[in-house]
Amino acid sequence: MKLKEVLSSLPFYEVSSSINEIEINNIEMDSRKVVPDNLFVCINGFTVDGHNYVHQATDRGAVAIIAEKQVESNVPVIIVPDTSRALAMLAVKFYNYPTSQLPLIGVTGTNGKTTVTYLLETIFNQNKKKTGVIGTIHMKIGEDEYPVNNTTPDALLLQKTFKSMLDQDVDQVIMEVSSHALDMGRVYGCDYDIAVFTNLSQDHLDYHKNIDDYLRAKSLLFAQLGNNYNGEAKKFAVINEDDPSSSQLKRSTAQHVITYGCKNTAQVMAEHIKLDAAGTFFNLKTPIGDIGINSKLIGMFNIYNMLAASSAAIASNISLTVIKEALESITGVNGRFEPVNAGQSYGVIVDYAHTPDSLENVLDTIREFAKNKVYVVVGCGGDRDRTKRPLMAQIAVKYADLAIFTSDNPRTEDPNVILDDMINGLDNMENRYKVIVDRKEAINYAMQHAKKDDIVLIAGKGHETYQQVGLVKNHFDDREVARDAIKSKG
Ligand SMILES: CC(=O)N[C@H]1[C@@H](OP(=O)(O)OP(=O)(O)OC[C@H]2O[C@@H](n3ccc(=O)[nH]c3=O)[C@H](O)[C@@H]2O)O[C@H](CO)[C@@H](O)[C@@H]1O[C@H](C)C(=O)N[C@@H](C)C(=O)N[C@H](CCC(=O)O)C(=O)O
Ligand SMILES: Nc1ncnc2c1ncn2[C@@H]1O[C@H](COP(=O)(O)OP(=O)(O)OP(=O)(O)O)[C@@H](O)[C@H]1O
Ligand SMILES: N[C@H](CCC[C@H](N)C(=O)O)C(=O)O
Ligand SMILES: [Mg+2]
């Protein structure tokens, strides 16, 4: 494609030499991946500044550079005020505006995004639509899965993925939109049709200045629904009416709003709720009618997830019968409240709770059904929000008979320092917890002590099949380790 044509997606730019004849075959933001005839975009990141890699990019064959300042280069340098924003707009143009032709649902919120996208995938599939999914666990086109590094990928990979989805006749795209992605502009230029909000609670306060700044980032998704209303293709904000942030999010969009909830009056509601250890029942009350749902998903929080997904499905004109069939067919979500059964007399559950709110929800649910003692094995990730560590530890000792604090993904932090942060504030509670740095040993310890009808919750890593120590990811799967521990106990 002609460079000039790609640049037409930018309103203004400065360039000191002629670029009329330049053709580019791709856009790249990582100098190490540049190949001949690429356009290299310099991003000033959290670790390094891409402007320092221009030479490597041109040595590898970049034919033009997009930068925020003049840089020394033997190829034309195009200067823009914000290269992250430009990157997204250039990618959207390069891949020919894929989301303008694809129905797109974005799901944001602190907890429940992966679950809601999975529920929506199942509902759309039940409605015989081919889906594309982007999120924490994987990217998926139809039945083909691709690995991911981020919940919401960078703008280049994102637009490229949308284009592949379009080429492979995907009918509906469903994606998780993280607050980091919204804040960094990874999703600029995406034409969302439905934006879903699950909930807001404390997380990521290493990245966002405070909870208000975190909410502001989330609200960008609702602002991004745009204000173009042509009377036909309706756009919707789907909002959890029981969450205190709902009113601010409603005010962030100029589009239609669908509210859901269980406590405050909402358009889509769960009534006559029955929760037990085998599943949930509720009457789904909606503007298009009512229907009873018998789900195998456990816990009140999953009723909220089902309401969020049902609301988005209703906004997509899917019938209540299809929604019911889909929700009732779901037995669980990978790594979320996932039971591990190896013939033992006690329960073992692996879950992805890695925030105070999710840990509290899951432990509260377990406590409700537990016939005997509750053990929790939990840690906190390194290079992430330090302020959630003592909160998670306090929740663990509040709900469990014994909490075993261990390592999650320590990343570049000393695991002992993370554990000290966790137990800081648990004075005089030493009999309620134990610290075992090695996660495998911690899981083994819990299994050794569990007796008939006890429940062991292994929280924080869910579907993850690695543990990151330093910069290295070693294979580690809580489910495998738990199964081995159960078997070796005999
Ligand atoms: C804090 C953060 O979000 N960092 C993201 C960011 O990395 P960064 O700013 O450190 O990048 P950098 O290394 O400084 O590089 C800057 C630029 O120089 C380029 N570069 C770098 C080196 C080189 O030799 N040549 C070169 O050109 C890089 O390609 C990049 O364009 O940009 C990268 C590329 O897009 C992301 O992969 C990376 O996510 C990291 C891995 C991460 O852990 N992010 C987490 C916090 C995150 O985003 N999480 C959310 C989910 C959270 C949730 O839902 O709970 C997510 O969406 O994944
Ligand atoms: N609606 C909810 N409210 C509170 N907690 C929830 C909710 N749904 C799920 N959880 C808890 O949060 C954990 C993570 O759920 P899920 O993976 O669906 O969230 P997520 O928002 O995608 O997380 P991430 O930010 O890591 O991508 C679950 O394992 C469960 O413990
Ligand atoms: N999306 C979250 C995942 C956290 C999962 C937990 N296992 C950890 O590593 O902290 C994050 O990047 O903060
Ligand atoms: Mg997720």
| pTM for the whole structure | 0.95
- Hey, which of 177, 358, 359 would you mutate to test ligand 2's pocket, going by the most ligand atoms within 8 Å of its Cβ? 358
* 379 annotated to a ligand binding site: no
**Can you read off the two tokens belonging to residue 464?**
């993850």
**Residue 208: predicted pLDDT:** 76
Q: Identify whether residues 316 and 281 lie together within a single domain.
A: yes
Q: Would you give the DSSP letter of residue 385?
A: -
**Residue 428: predicted pLDDT:** 87
Name which residue sits closest to atom 10 of ligand 3, judged by CA: 381
Tell me, using a 6 A CB cutoff, whether residue 151 lines ligand 2.
yes
Distance, CA 274 to ligand 4 centroid (Å)?
A: 27
179: enclosing H helix or E strand: helix 179-184
Does residue 111 contact residue 198 with C-beta atoms inside 8 Å?
A: yes
Distance, CA 135 to ligand 4 centroid (Å)?
A: 6
* 111 annotated to a ligand binding site: yes
Domain's final residue, options 329, 355, 388: 329
Does residue 63 contact residue 75 with C-beta atoms inside 8 Å?
A: yes
- Hey, which of 148, 384, 476 would you mutate to test ligand 3's pocket, going by the most ligand atoms within 8 Å of its Cβ? 384
Residue among 229, 222, 212 nearest 187 (CA): 222
Distance, CA 231 to ligand 1 centroid (Å)?
A: 39
- How many Cα atoms sit within 13 Å of 212 on the Cβ side? 0
User: How far lies 405's CA from each of 50, 387, 409, 421, 431, in Å?
Assistant: 39, 16, 13, 11, 13
* 50 annotated to a ligand binding site: no
Q: What gap in Å lies between CA 357 and CA 459, rounded to an integer?
A: 13
Q: Read off φ and ψ for residue 482, nearest 5 degrees.
A: -65, -45
- Hey, which of 107, 108, 111 would you mutate to test ligand 2's pocket, going by the most ligand atoms within 8 Å of its Cβ? 111
SS3 state of residue 407? coil
Q: Of ligand 1's atoms, which has the minimum distance to the CA of residue 50?
A: 18
* 389 annotated to a ligand binding site: no
Give every CB contact of residue 51 below 8 A, 6+ residues apart in sequence.
42, 44, 67, 68, 69, 71
Q: Identify whether residues 124 and 205 lie together within a single domain.
A: yes
Q: Identify whether residues 147 and 243 lie together within a single domain.
A: yes
Distance, CA 112 to ligand 2 centroid (Å)?
A: 4
Name which residue sits closest to atom 4 of ligand 3, judged by CA: 354
* 16 annotated to a ligand binding site: no
CATH of the domain at 9: 3.40.1390.10
Q: Of ligand 3's atoms, which has the minimum distance to the CA of residue 382?
A: 10
Does residue 20 contact residue 63 with C-beta atoms inside 8 Å?
A: no
User: How far lies 51's CA from each of 30, 41, 68, 69, 87, in Å?
Assistant: 11, 8, 8, 8, 14
Name which residue sits closest to atom 2 of ligand 1, judged by CA: 46
All residue ranges of the chain with pLDDT < 50 are none
Tell me, using a 6 A CB cutoff, whether residue 478 lines ligand 2.
no
Long-range contacts of 246-253 (CB under 8 A, 24+ apart): 246/197, 248/215, 248/219, 249/197, 249/215, 249/218, 249/219, 249/222, 252/219, 252/220, 252/222, 252/223, 253/195, 253/222, 253/223, 253/225
Q: Identify whether residues 344 and 309 lie together within a single domain.
A: no
**Residue 490: predicted pLDDT:** 75
pLDDT tens digits for range 136-187: 999 999 999 999 999 999 999 999 999 999 999 999 999 999 999 999 999 9
Q: Identify whether residues 176 and 40 lie together within a single domain.
A: no
Q: Of ligand 3's atoms, which has the minimum distance to the CA of residue 462?
A: 7
Q: How far out from the chain centre does Cα 239 lie?
A: 17
Q: Identify whether residues 221 and 296 lie together within a single domain.
A: yes
Number of domains, the chain: 3
**Residue 232: predicted pLDDT:** 66
Tokens 């004109």 sit at which residue? 317
Q: What gap in Å lies between CA 127 and CA 169, rounded to an integer?
A: 15
Phi-psi region at 309: left, alpha or beta (left = phi > 0; alpha = psi -120 to 50): alpha
Q: What gap in Å lies between CA 23 and CA 459, rounded to an integer?
A: 51
ipTM value for the complex: 0.96
The parent domain of residue 306 ranges over 98-329
Domain's final residue, options 329, 364, 394: 329
Q: Name residues contacting ligand 1 (CB within 6 A).
A: 29-32, 43, 45-48, 50, 53, 149-152, 154, 178, 180-181
Domain's final residue, options 272, 297, 329: 329
**Can you read off the two tokens belonging to residue 388?**
């959630």
Residue spans of beta strands (DSSP E) within 380-444: 402-405, 433-435
Query: Is the CA virtual torsion 51, 55, 57, 62 positive or negative?
Result: positive
**Residue 229: predicted pLDDT:** 66
Q: Identify whether residues 104 and 241 lie together within a single domain.
A: yes
Distance, CA 285 to ligand 2 centroid (Å)?
A: 24
- Hey, which of 28, 31, 46 would you mutate to test ligand 1's pocket, going by the most ligand atoms within 8 Å of its Cβ? 46
**Can you read off the two tokens belonging to residue 482?**
């738990």
Q: Of ligand 1's atoms, which has the minimum distance to the CA of residue 47?
A: 14
Does residue 149 contact residue 137 with C-beta atoms inside 8 Å?
A: no
CATH of the domain at 184: 3.40.1190.10
Q: Identify whether residues 256 and 404 lie together within a single domain.
A: no
Q: Name residues contacting ligand 3 (CB within 6 A).
A: 151, 354, 381, 384, 408-409, 460-461, 464
pLDDT tens digits for range 75-106: 999 999 999 999 999 999 999 999 999 999 99
* 151 annotated to a ligand binding site: yes
Q: Identify whether residues 275 and 178 lie together within a single domain.
A: yes
Instruction: Indicate which ligand has the atom closest to the C-alpha of 198.
Output: 2
Q: Identify whether residues 239 and 260 lie together within a single domain.
A: yes
Q: What gap in Å lies between CA 12 and CA 187, rounded to an integer?
A: 20
